Each structure stands twice: as C-alpha cells, then as structure tokens.
Structure 1
Amino acid sequence: MYRKILITTDGSAVSQHTACAGVKFAHQMGAEVLALFVAPEYQYPVYVEIIPPSYPSEDEYIAQMRRTGEDYMGRIMRSCADAGLKHSCMTAFSDATALKIVDIAEQEGCDLIFMGSHGRSGWGQILLGSVTNKVLSHTTKPVLVHRLIHEPAAT
C-alpha cells in the first residue's frame, strides 16, 4: 500500500518512540523509510556589532546540527537495518518545520508521513502538537499520527 514513508523526529523521547512505531509500521507494509530531522535556521546575533568569538559560525552550526540529526536518526536507521528495510536519513534546515516536512515528503516521493501527536513543543495530551497540526493542514498526502498513551521515560 505504501512504498516510501517519511518518519519525522525532533530528538525528544516521545518522537523516538514514535519513530520506532513508524519503523514497525513500515516493516508491516514492506516500505522504504526516510527519516527526517528539521533543524532551525542559523541565527545571526541581533544588535551586536561584532560577533563574539564563542558564537559559532554558520558552517560550524550547520555541521553541529547535521551531527545532532544523525544522532537523533541513528536509532531509526539501526531499527530499519535490523528489520531489513531500505532506509535513508536527511537533516533539513527551516524555521517553518511543518512546511519543510511537507516539502520534503513531496520532493522525495513519500506516500505517507508518519509523525507523533506531540514532540518537543507538546502541551501534554491536551492539544494536538502545533507542527503536526500544521502538517495536517498543509499536505494532501496521508499523515499517520501516532499518539503515545504514556509519556516515555527520558533515555
């Protein structure tokens, strides 16, 4: 039914558990997995005439965010490899996370977006997460929203 599934993560414990559920779902479907981490754009210091020496350069920031993304997606990649699934990962940069998720799903030919009901910015179990809600509002692709009943312990 689905050939390529986009699984998003923000590195939080909730999104890591959601990603594992996404890999299990992809295994059931026999689908390829594309793991995605969207990092915020580099921000130049505001109202500073001279950039402090301790402030990372844009290249340093991009390299660090790519390493962070690889770390976040490492568990997903290992789970895919263990399940024998074709898989890849991508770190993208945007301050509009939901729109970037929708764009990547379109560009990469994904049939389904698999994401959690809440991530780093969730308000508990009261409201649907803002990024998830925006993805649902901006895509024509199917979105499977995974909801955890209990908050996982941080690992």
Structure 2
Amino acid sequence: MFQRILVPTDGSDITAKAVDTAIRLAKSLNARLYTISVKEPFPYSAISEMQPTPPQEFFEAQERIAARRIQDVREAAEAQGVDCEAHTIEALHPWEAIIEHAQRMGCDVLVMASHGRRGVTALLLGSETQKVLTHSKIPVLVVR
C-alpha cells in the first residue's frame, strides 16, 4: 500500500502523536519513513542594523533546533526497526516545503498532526495541516 511515508515535525507534543503513528504505520507496512523539519527564514527588515540577533547566529540556532527535532524522530523510528531519512529545510511557508519535499522524495502518504481547532479559531489561526490538506495531491493522514 504505502511505501514512502513523510512525517513533518515541529517538536510539539501534538506532532509526537503523528510521529508515533507514522512509525507504527511504516513498521506495519515495511515502508520507508521520511521526516522533515522546516526552519524559519531570517526575518529581514528595512532596519537590518536593529536586528536583535545577527543572521548567522539565527541560522545556526534554527539549524540546531531543526536537527534535534529530526534526530528525535530518527531515534524513535530506529528503536522500532524502521528506516528513517531526515532533512531540514528553510522555507517561508512550511506547508509548501512539506508538499514539495514529499514529491521530491516520492512519498505516497503524509502523516500530520492537527490541533483540532474549529470555527473562527481555525480560520483566524490557520493551520499548516489544513494548507497541506488543501493543496496536496498526495493522501494525508491527520492525527489528532
């Protein structure tokens, strides 16, 4: 059925549920697992001299955080005997990076977390998962 599964991670508790589900799914299907953590780009402004954090320091911090997130997924997968390929990517819109990465890796399903927001809250806050659901041509399994 599914042979290449992508699970994005932001390190949150809700994402941990999606990671666990993706690992169990990959194990049951003998599938390959991929994980991605999307890094924020540096918030350049017109007054760049006023930035509280120098760009290089910002990039290094973002990479450390993202690397830790994917390493956690990798370790959890390997503990269950599941192969896991991990990547960090910088993108302004995480949902676009997730879809593009899934296509690039040839994934046939995405496993993502949902915070379960409804109504006006969901409309105002938006959701990377909702945006992926709206734009992805690849099936998306949403974990709550």
| TM-score bracket for this pair, using the shorter chain length | 0.7 to 0.9
Work out whether 1:134 is the aligned partner of 2:97.
no
Deviations for 1:96-133, whole angstroms, at most 9, x for unmatched residues?
11111100100111111110112xxxxx5436662111
Report how many residues are paired.
139
Following TM superposition, the consecutive aligned residue runs of length 4 or more in structure 1 with deviations greater than 4 angstroms are none
Q: SS state of the match for residue 50, structure 1?
A: helix
Q: SS state of the match for residue 49, structure 2?
A: coil
Task: Give runs of aligned pairs for residues 2-13 of structure 1, distance below 5 A.
Answer: 2-13=2-13
Work out the CA distance in 2 between the residues paired with 1:47 and 1:132: 31
Q: TM-score, normalised by structure 2?
A: 0.86
Structure 2 unaligned segments of length 5 or more: list them. Answer: none
What CA RMSD, in Å, does the superposition of the two structures yield over aligned residues? 1.9
Bigger helix share: 2
Match of 2:49 in 1: 50
Deviations for 1:23-42, whole angstroms, at most 9, x for unmatched residues?
11111111111111112111
Task: Give runs of aligned pairs for residues 1-155 of structure 1, distance below 5 A.
Answer: 1-44=1-44, 46-48=45-47, 50-51=49-50, 55-57=53-55, 59-118=56-115, 125-126=117-118, 130-147=127-144
- 2:7·2:112 contact (CA, 8 Å) conserved in 1? yes
Structure 1 unaligned segments of length 5 or more: list them. Answer: 119-123, 148-155
